Structures are given as structure tokens and as C-alpha cells.
Chain A
Amino acid sequence: MHLIDQHPILNYRHGRRVKFTFDGKEMEGYEGEPIAVALHANGVRVYRITPEMKRPRGFFCAIGKCSSCFMVVNGVPNVRTCVTPLEEGMDVRTQVGKGKVSI
């Protein structure tokens, strides 16, 4: 994970380290921290592909306001991953287009 190991002012406090998957690939992150942040720490930059122009989108506002980081989490599309806490065993996937809801 790409973490800041030394900071002149801040001491980071992380929770429990848990495993989750991104597009089927196993990764590690900290429980309770935003999914988008865990992905970024694992070097993932592209979170979804836009419906019409097929453009890659990733992290942008980090406060749940811009919809750039929508992904499919545990089968649910359009999850704001920047404000959704990471849980052990989560299945996180790149969202292609608008995503589908299975009913």
C-alpha cells in the first residue's frame, strides 16, 4: 500500500487491516476507511467507465458530492466509494456504464 510513512506533524491511526477484492483481485485496506481511499492506496486509479463516452473516471471530490467514484460494491451499483466504509471481504468492481441492479 502507498502510505505516508513519516509526517512531520500528523500521526495516522488506522483500524484493523482487512482483505477485500477489486475486480476479483485480492487487496488489503483498513476497515472503516473509505473504499476509494483503500483502492488509491493499492494503486488503483480508474473506478468506473462512463456510459456514453466510455471515459475512465476515478477519485475526485472525496466528500460524496461529485459522483466520479461510483462503483459496484457487493453487487450494488452507483455506490459513492469515497464515503462508504470498507468492510472485510467486500466485492468491489469497476462500474461500466450505469451499472445494473439485480432484482
Chain B
Amino acid sequence: MMSTDVLVVGGGAAGLSAAAEAASCGARVTVLESDLQLGGQLIKQTHKFFGSKDEYAGTRGYKIADILLDEIRSAGDRVEVHTNVTVTGYYPEDGTITAMRGEEEYFRVSAKKVIVATGAQERLIPFPNNDLPGVYGAGAVQTLMNVYGVVPGKRVLMVGAGNIGLIVSYQLMQAGVQVAAVVEAMPKVGGYWVHAAKIRRLGVPIYLRYSIKEALGSQVVEGAIIQEVDDRCSGIGNEKEIDCDIICMAVGLSPTVELCWQAGCQMKYVPHLCGYVPLRDRTMRTSHKDIWVAGDASGIEEASAAMVEGRIAGLSAAMSLGFKGDPGKLDEYWSRLGHLRAGEVGEKIRAGISQVMVDGWEE
């Protein structure tokens, strides 16, 4: 059995930040990551981040992953990291955690405190042939081209004009792949204007109030039909056939929260945060006294916020074990989150957070 002070489930933006912070207080930390590499979605991002200097604004996402990994390395043997290990269960009777390395080796983990930084999973929308090979999640397309340098396809239809749809469209063009069009069911672009402008300048049409009607092909994607939709997303004609071999789905993410359910954390469905998420206090602790949450698992938001939430969770989990941390940092981290969530763009997140934040838990 593996044992540790603080177990961090997930080695992405939130998890690595949590691990670095908890280790800096002196805690022994174990990070379990299901992917073959650390860094989560950060390693797939070629664009420069926004925010302030504290969140590495102006630095490209994959470079931010390097910075976090350096910080983890500098903690020496206080942080143990395992990739290709998937946490499969939390047993609330005695807090045992089960995990599997690869596909066949199972083992147990005993941890004093757990930080759930499991991220998110991609959504799919219903349309005929949406299961055909060639209909890929946006994150999967990024994995192929930005992590492994594999050409995803020749010509892509992007479904969704939120930040992910816009950024991945641009990344596809960086990789030399044609983007046939971006369709967006809403009447306006959901992502930042700067990302939309970049792909429009390169001649990619963004069809607003359009959605995909069906994928064409029998064995693999050979094209797509898009159509104009009304307020309720029902088709109202004006169909167009799009020549493409990849249909990239950027229609949102859902928090990955199975472990929180298994542990019996109090959960709430909050549309602003894109699904069920655990209630949490100011330290990112859930209703379970040994479990913290950070990053997209606590509600879909940007990587910058995930990193700050990871810091909060790491600091608090370590301090709960009696390790020395600076409690003033908590205020600093919350003020950073406040800046990231300020203004019109943060409105939705603020509305969501207000529904899941509790003043404190009864001991």
C-alpha cells in the first residue's frame, strides 16, 4: 500500500499547484496522474495566458507547465509523482483509495488528506453519426497535434465558438490544418474577441446561430451538414454541406467529480459551473473533512483560476495536518481569484461560486 500525507488526484494545472504548495509547507505529497505526462491541459496550450503576472500572463500555456514542474522538482523527495495511474475509488468507511497503474495493476493508497484535482471531461451533443471516427473532442485534437505532433486531419469543422473552439481553431492553423468553418448555436461568439479576431483575420467563417445537423460518412467522417437554428437550437433550414474529415467538438466540459460523489461530499448542480460540483469553504475544503477540491473539478473555469485554487487547497490541506504555512497567503490567493473573476467576463463564474461557497463546516 502506498501512503502519504496529502494525495493529489490529477497532475494538471490545479493538481501541480496544490502539490507544490503543500510540499512548500513541509507535507509529503503524492500526485497520481492518469495520463502519460504531467501538466494536464496546460501542455496543450500554445497561446499566451491573460491575467496578471502572478498567473504567468504573457507566458504560453505549455511553458507554464514547465514552470510548475520545476517547482515540483525543487521540492525534492517531498513530492512523489506517478503517471499512468488512475484513481478508481474512494471508500468512505475507512478512507481507502484504490488506483490502477496501466490497465492491470491495482493497488491501495492511504492518505491523510486528499485534494481532488481531476479536471473535466468533454461534452458531446446529439446528432446523427456523432459516434463516427473523426468526431473528436477539442482536447483530443490538441493532444494529437500539440503534444505528439500528429496531424489530426486535413480539414476541420469546429463546433462551438467559446474560447476552446476559437483557440483550437487557431492552433489547427498553426499546425497547418485547414479550418473549414466554426459554427456556434448562440447569436454571439462566446469566447474572447481577440481569439475570434485572430481566426477571422485568417479567413475562417464563424457561422453564428448555426449548429451541426449531421456527420456524413459510414466508416469515418467524410463531411458534415450544418444548419441555421432558432433560440431553442431547433433547425430552421438554411443547410450547408461542409467538406471536412474532422468534426471537432468544443461544446463545453463537465467537472469530473466521481470521487467526490463516492466520498459523500455534499454536491450541487450549478449550471454556471457546468454541472454537479462539491460545496466548499474558503479553503476549498468540501463537506468531507479530509477532502479538498480545486480546478475544473470544482467548476469549469480557466487554468489561471485553477492554479490559484490549487494553491489554496494545497496550503489548507498541509496546514490542517499541522504543517506551518502562512495563513495570510489565503487572503492573497483570494484577492488573485477576485481579479481573475472581475468584470463582465467573470459574471457567470461569480454567480456560480456564490451558490457553492459555505462560510465554514460544522466540526
Contact = CB atoms under 8 A, between A and B. Distances in A.
Interface of A: 1-4, 6-10, 12, 14, 30, 32-34, 37, 40-41, 45-47, 50, 55-66, 68, 76, 78-80, 82-85
B121 interface: yes
Contact of B176 (A6, A34, A37, A61): A6
Contacts of B149: 3-4, 7, 10, 12, 14
B62 interface: yes
A59 B359 CA distance: 43
Contact of A9 (B60, B135, B137, B152): B60
Contacts of B175: 4, 7
Contacts of A68: 131
Nearest to B151: A2
Of residues B60, B143, B150, B256, which shows the largest number of chain A Cβ atoms within 10 Å of its Cβ? Answer: B150
Contacts of A63: 34-35, 121, 139-140, 143
Given A60-B137, A63-B34, 12 more contacts: A1-B150, A3-B151, A4-B151, A9-B174, A33-B36, A37-B148, A60-B136, A63-B121, A66-B122, A83-B34, A83-B35, A83-B84
B121 A62 contact: no
Contacts of A84: 84, 102-103
Contacts of B46: 9-10
A64 B86 contact: yes
B130 to A, nearest CB: 10
Contacts of A60: 135-137, 140
Interface residues of B, number: 37
B252 interface: no
B38 to A, nearest CB: 13
Contacts of B133: 45-47, 56-59
Contacts of B176: 4, 6
Given A6-B176, A64-B86, A37 B131 contact: no
B150 A37 contact: yes
B150 A2 contact: yes
Contacts of B219: 45-46, 56
A79 B131 CA distance: 19
Interface string B113-141: 00000000110000000011111110110
